[in-house]
Amino acid sequence: MTQAQPFAPISRETVSSQIRAQLLERITTGELAPGARMPSERELSERFDVARTSVREAMQGLVSMGVVERRGNRSYVAEHLPDVVVEPNGDGKSFVAELFETRRVLELPLFEMAAERASDADRQRIAAIAAKFDDALDITEFRRLDREFHTTIASTCGNPLLIELYGKVLDQLFRSVEFFTLLSAESNQTEVERIIAESAEAHRHIAQSFIERDTDAVRKSVHSHLDSVEHSMVSDLD
């Protein structure tokens, strides 16, 4: 199996982790697509110019992560990622902060990819969802539209594995008791109304940046939106 680009040279420190990182990058960018057969240990050993034991350790790491599957004596990129199940470790706000941090790591580069790859029809669909946001939405309808907006954008990035991973992180966030408790507490309703109004405006800005095919504006709008929502959820809600 040949690759479009040569692998980067490997230093002699943490060889297996460097191999794993390069292979994981090929998987997350879609160069090694879901279901694709992975190169053999011998082939990877020759390409990286390292011992097969290092390749074997790297591959085992990918198997443990759930992104590579063993089928007999061959390895394949996983068709589907394992479920993300995370138990809170500490108070509710700390857990919500961790979920937002994870979301940020995925969402910023994913939305940049989407901004570059989305079709005209995709961009119109994103704008149509953004137009449904209204300052007066109740929290239930807002959460439904919010998720639809973000998952629709993610679906245009062209990388099924990354889309699935992002969806699982959103699942964890939207289904978490801690997240729901903060949004539904009576003492937080005034602040929640402000979050809805500001998020509605932010979504319209993001959608307009997609319509204008302005990747830099998408990046800045998403970064600002995540900063604002995370600060409100973690710092302003009781």
Per-residue pLDDT of 141-197, as tens digits, reads: 898 899 899 999 999 998 887 888 888 888 777 777 777 777 777 888 888 888 899
Task: Please check the confidence at residue 83 and state whether its pLDDT lies above 50.
Answer: yes
Is 1.10.357.10 the CATH number for 15-77?
Answer: no
Average pLDDT taken over every residue of the chain: 84
Say if residue 11's pLDDT is above 60.
no
The ranges assigned to domains in the chain are 15-77, 92-236
Q: Using CA atoms, how far apart are residues 2 and 180, in angstroms rounded to an integer? A: 48
For 2, other C-beta atoms within 10 Å of its C-beta total 6
Distance of CA 151 to the CA centre of its chain: 10
Digit-coded pLDDT (tens) for 196-229: 999 999 999 999 999 999 999 999 999 999 998 8
pLDDT band at 87 (very low <50, low <70, confident <90, very high): low
Of 18 and 52, more confident: 52
Please give the Cα distance from 85 to 31 (Å, whole number): 27
Beta bridge partners of 74: 71
Length of the chain: 238
Percent of the chain, pLDDT > 70? 86
Q: What is the pLDDT of residue 12?
A: 47
Rg (CA), the chain: 21
Q: Please indicate whether the domains covering 15-77 and 92-236 agree at the CATH topology level.
A: no
Was domain 92-236 assigned CATH 1.20.120.530?
A: yes
Mapping DSSP onto H, E and C, the string for the chain reads CCCCCCCCCCCCCCHHHHHHHHHHHHHHCCCCCCCCECCCHHHHHHHHCCCHHHHHHHHHHHHHHCCEEEECCEEEECCCCCCCCCCCCCCHHHHHHHHHHHHHHHHHHHHHHHHHHCCHHHHHHHHHHHCCCCCCCCHHHHHHHHHHHHHHHHCCCCCHHHHHHHHHHHHHHHHCHHHHHHHHCHHHHHHHHHHHHHHHHHHHHHHHHHHCCCHHHHHHHHHHHHHHHHHHHHHHCC
State yes or no: pLDDT of 238 exceeds 80.
no
